[in-house]
Structure 1
C-alpha cells in the first residue's frame, strides 16, 4: 500500500505512466489501470488527502474465486474432516481417486489444503520457565559404532536431558531404550547437573509411560519409584505433541548436526568421552540462539544453585514387571529363571529387579528373594518353592539312599547297592521306595525283608514290599536243598527215558533221539 500511495503522489505531480514505469515503480499497463481507478475515486485531486492503506486495500484487493468453482467443491467437507485428522495430502488424493472417481491432480488437493491452513493458521505460545523448574528428556537415533577391539557393529541412541531455563544439557550414547537404561541415564544426569529439577517433561515411550492419554496418563511403576526417590514430578507430553518439549527436541537435532558429523568412534566408551568433552566445551560455551547467552555460564550463574539437592541416600534403581508363574514353579525375567512357591502357579506376580537382587511379590506380599542372574538361561531355585514330591525326589539322591541304607543294616545296604549297580535301569525311585518302607514297618523288619530278598536273589522294591506286607520276614529262611548222591539209582515218579518221550510223542514226523545215559 505504501508503493501505491507513492505512485498516486507521482500521478498528482503530473508524472506519466511511461515515467512511472522508467522509475521502476510499476509497469505501464498496470499504471494505466491504476490511474483509471484513481480517477474514478477522485484520488488524483491535489485538494483531497491521499487515501489510507485500508481504503486502498479494499479497492485494489482481487476478488477470491468462489470455492464452488473448484473441481474439489463436492469433496470439501470430506477433505476438511480428513485434514483435521492429520491425514496427509497424498493419502487424501489417493482416497478421492480410488473411492470417489476424482480425476484431478494432486496439485489441486495440495492448493486446497494450503488454503485451509492459511484460513485457520495454528498459533503457539512460547513457554517461559524459571531456573531449576523444568528439564526435558528425549531419545534420538545415534550412530552405528564398530568396536575396534571386538569388531562388533551395533546401533546406538542419544539420551538427552536439557534444562529448560539455561539450555545446558546432559547427553550420553546408549545401546538400547530399556527401562534400566532409562533409569540409569536419569541418575547420571542428576549427578552431572549436581541437582534435581522440580519437573521432568518426557515423551510417551514405554519406559516412562505405559498408557498415553491427554488427561489421565499412566506412569511406568519403575519410573514412578525413581521420581518419588529423587523428588521430581513427571510431566508426560500429550499424545502426538512432541512440540511440548521443543527445547530438548532442538537439543537432539543440535547434537546430530554439530557433534555427530565427521567423527570416528573406536568404541562406546570413546564415543561418550568425545560427547562429554563436546558438551563442556563447544556446546556449553556457544551463544545460544534464543537466550543469547552461553548455556554453561547461564547454568552456573542463575540455575545450578536453584536445583533441588541430591538425596543423601541414592534411590535404588529397580525395574518392576508383571509375570505369571509357569508350571515348573519358575518365572522368566530377562531370559533368566527364578522360582516362586508352587501354590502360586499360573498366578500374576510382580518382579522387582535391582542390580543385585530379584524380589517377587504376590498381592503386595514378598514371596521370594533371589540373587540377580545375568547370563541367559541361568536359573535360581529355592527348594522350598517346589512341590513336596519334587522336593523329595531331588533331596533323596543316591548318596542319601546309601547313607540311610547303611543306618538300617548291611543287608539293606547290599540291596540298595545292587539296585544302583543295574547297567541299564535308573533305580533311584526304587531305592527311595525301599528306604521309605522303614517308616511303615521299622528298620528291623526292613533289614530282615532285605535279607530274605537277597537270599532268593530278587533285590527289587516289589519283592521287599511283598515280603513285608505278607509278614514273610518273620519266617526262617528256607534250608538249602541237599543234592542227591551220585549212587542214587531211583527213578522219579514222572521220569521217562528219551525213547519213551519219542515214542509217545503225538507228532507223526521222524524224530532224532539223542542217547541218554539212563
Structure 2
C-alpha cells in the first residue's frame, strides 16, 4: 500500500469497480490503491454484502465505519547497499546470484538472505537493460487518449492578448478527434471539455489514457497516482476508467501526442480567428472536413469511416448527465464562512476552524462534514459576494440581526403608544445610530410589565429625554408609578428635535426623576 492517505472516495471507486467485476490487480493498475488494500476491502465488502449487484452501493459514511485504520508502510534500505558497486561488477561478469551470495557471506561477513541479493540483481538489471518500445494496439471502443496543447494568442474578454489551449481527445482505434480551445487548464474546464467531448462522440470510451496534469492527477506515481476527486466523480458518472501514464513517459499516449502535433501543423498555420468562439467553429469544421476524412498514416483509413464502425461498441451516454462539480477543501473562517474563488459561503458556527470538503457545480456549492452535507448555497460569481444563512451564525449574532428596525417598531406598538413614540424618536435620529438603544428599551420588558414600560416611555418623552438610560432610571426608581400631572401638560413629542436640545433635556430629566 502507498504511503499516501487514501481518501474515502477512492474506496468507493474501488468498491464500484469490484461490483463491475474488476479484479484486485485491475484496481491496482488503475492507481486507486495497492493490491493488498484492495484485497482487504474486498474481504470487508464480501462480509457485509456490499458486492451484491442488486443492492445499492453503500455511502461514504457506511464504508468509513467498516474500515480499520490504514497502516503506513515502513521505509527500508537494502542491506546490500554498501556492496552495490561490487555486485554490479560481478553481474557484468556473468556471476550467478547464488555465487555472489556465497562470496559475500564468506569474504565480506554478510549475514543477509539470498532474497536480498536477488532483489539487488533485479534492480541492477533493470538499470542497465536497453529501453525498448512496443506499438500498442486498441480494440474498437477500448480507449481514448487526452491531452492539452498550446494554441494561438487571442484577445481575452478581460483585456489583452492571452494564450489559448487546445483540449484534444482522440479515439485510439479510429483516430477520430474532439478539439476545443479554452483559456485555461483548471479542473472545471477539464471536466467541461470531457462532457462536451462525450456529447460530440455521442458515446463514451471504456478507458481514458491521460497525462499527469494537475487538473486530473494530484500526485503522479507509476503505481499509485492520486486522482482528483472531481475527476473520479466524472469517471464514475460516465462509466469510464482513468488510466494515468507513468511520470515522464509520454510515449504511453503517443496517439494523442501525434494528434496535437497534427493539429498545430495543419490547422493553425495561415489562419486568422476573430475570437475564441470563431476559433472553435473553424476547429470543429476542420476536424469533420479535413482531419476526419484524410487517409490516416497508421490505420490507412479515414478516421470518420472507422468511427462509424467503432461507435456501436462505445459506452452509451448516461440517461442523465452527471453533475460535474469541482471538489475542494477549505477551512471555516471565524466568521462562519468558507472561501471559494473569492466568494464566501456560510456553515454552522460549530464548524469554525475545521477543514471541510465542498463541491462547486455550475449553480450550487454544497459543503460536507464527515461525508454528510451540512450546507448548500447558490453559486456566487462576483468577487467578495457572500452567501449567508442566518441560522449558521452564533445565537447572539442571530438575535442581533433578527432584532432589526422593523422588529423594534413592531414590538413597540405592541407595548403601547408612548413606547412606539419613543422608539420612533430613537430610530429617527439623523446623526447617531440608535438601534442598540431601541433594542435595549424593548429588552426592559423582560424585567418590567408592558404597562410600566409604556408609562416610563411616556414620562421620558414628557421630559424630552427619549433615551434608554432615562427609561431605565425611571423604571428602577419606580417613578413611572407616581401620580403626577405631567402627562396632561406634556408637549407633543418632536421626532426630529435637535441633538443638543435633547442633551439639555436629558440633564433636566435626570435631576427631576430622582425627586
Q: Same fold (TM over 0.5)?
A: yes
1:420 aligns with 427
- Secondary structure of the 1:167 match is coil
Q: Does 1:438 align with 2:449?
A: no
2:211 to 203, 207, 210: 203
**How far did 1:479 drift?**
6.6
Per-residue displacement from partner, 1:23-70 (whole Å, max 9, x unpaired)?
A: xxxxxxxxxxxxxxxxxxxxxxxxxxxxxxxxxxxxxxxxxxxxxxxx
Q: Does 1:462 align with 2:473?
A: no
* Equivalent pair of 1:357/1:372 in contact (CA under 8 Å): yes
**How far did 1:249 drift?**
0.9
* Equivalent pair of 1:171/1:275 in contact (CA under 8 Å): yes
Alignment of 1:2-41 (within 5 A): none
1:265 aligns with 273
**How far did 1:152 drift?**
5.2
Distance in 1 between residues matched to 2:405 and 2:160, nearest whole Å: 47
**How far did 1:417 drift?**
2.1
**How far did 1:161 drift?**
0.5
1:71 aligns with none
**How far did 1:133 drift?**
0.6
Larger radius of gyration, structure 1 or 2? 1
1:299 aligns with 307
Distance in 2 between residues matched to 1:166 and 1:410, nearest whole Å: 84
Distance in 2 between residues matched to 1:211 and 1:332, nearest whole Å: 24
2:201 to 178, 193, 203: 193
- Secondary structure of the 1:143 match is strand
- Secondary structure of the 1:453 match is helix
Distance in 2 between residues matched to 1:161 and 1:479, nearest whole Å: 89
2:292 aligns with 284
Range with bigger deviation, 128-137 or 290-299: 290-299
Give the total of aligned pairs: 362
1:142 to 131, 139, 151: 151
* Equivalent pair of 1:353/1:372 in contact (CA under 8 Å): yes
Q: Does 1:162 align with 2:159?
A: no
Alignment of 1:94-493 (within 5 A): 121-146=130-155, 153-301=161-309, 303-477=310-484
Per-residue displacement from partner, 1:304-349 (whole Å, max 9, x unpaired)?
A: 1111111112111111111111112221112221111111111112
Gaps of 5+ in 1: 1-76, 81-118, 481-518
* Equivalent pair of 1:144/1:153 in contact (CA under 8 Å): yes
**How far did 1:431 drift?**
0.4
**How far did 1:255 drift?**
0.6
- Secondary structure of the 1:240 match is coil
* Equivalent pair of 1:145/1:154 in contact (CA under 8 Å): yes
Distance in 1 between residues matched to 2:478 and 2:305, nearest whole Å: 97
Q: TM-score, normalised by structure 1?
A: 0.67
- Secondary structure of the 1:144 match is strand
* Equivalent pair of 1:452/1:477 in contact (CA under 8 Å): no
**How far did 1:424 drift?**
2.3
**How far did 1:213 drift?**
1.2
Distance in 1 between residues matched to 2:129 and 2:178, nearest whole Å: 38
Higher RCO, Cα 8 Å, sep 6+: 2
Distance in 1 between residues matched to 2:139 and 2:311, nearest whole Å: 12
Distance in 2 between residues matched to 1:289 and 1:180, nearest whole Å: 34
- Secondary structure of the 2:169 match is strand
**How far did 1:354 drift?**
1.4
Distance in 2 between residues matched to 1:153 and 1:443, nearest whole Å: 69
**How far did 1:452 drift?**
2.5
Distance in 1 between residues matched to 2:176 and 2:354, nearest whole Å: 47
Range with bigger deviation, 119-128 or 212-221: 119-128
2:97 aligns with none
Distance in 2 between residues matched to 1:269 and 1:192, nearest whole Å: 16
Distance in 1 between residues matched to 2:232 and 2:329, nearest whole Å: 15
Distance in 2 between residues matched to 1:361 and 1:390, nearest whole Å: 23
- Secondary structure of the 2:152 match is coil
**How far did 1:202 drift?**
1.0
Distance in 2 between residues matched to 1:306 and 1:394, nearest whole Å: 60
**How far did 1:207 drift?**
1.3
* Equivalent pair of 1:194/1:309 in contact (CA under 8 Å): yes
Distance in 1 between residues matched to 2:317 and 2:162, nearest whole Å: 34
1:115 aligns with none
- Secondary structure of the 2:184 match is coil
Per-residue displacement from partner, 1:245-265 (whole Å, max 9, x unpaired)?
A: 111111111111111111100
* Equivalent pair of 2:457/2:466 in contact (CA under 8 Å): yes
* Equivalent pair of 1:402/1:413 in contact (CA under 8 Å): yes
Q: 1:232 to 1:441 in 2, by over 3 A?
A: same
- Secondary structure of the 1:171 match is strand
- Secondary structure of the 2:234 match is helix
- Secondary structure of the 1:269 match is helix
Distance in 2 between residues matched to 1:452 and 1:241, nearest whole Å: 88
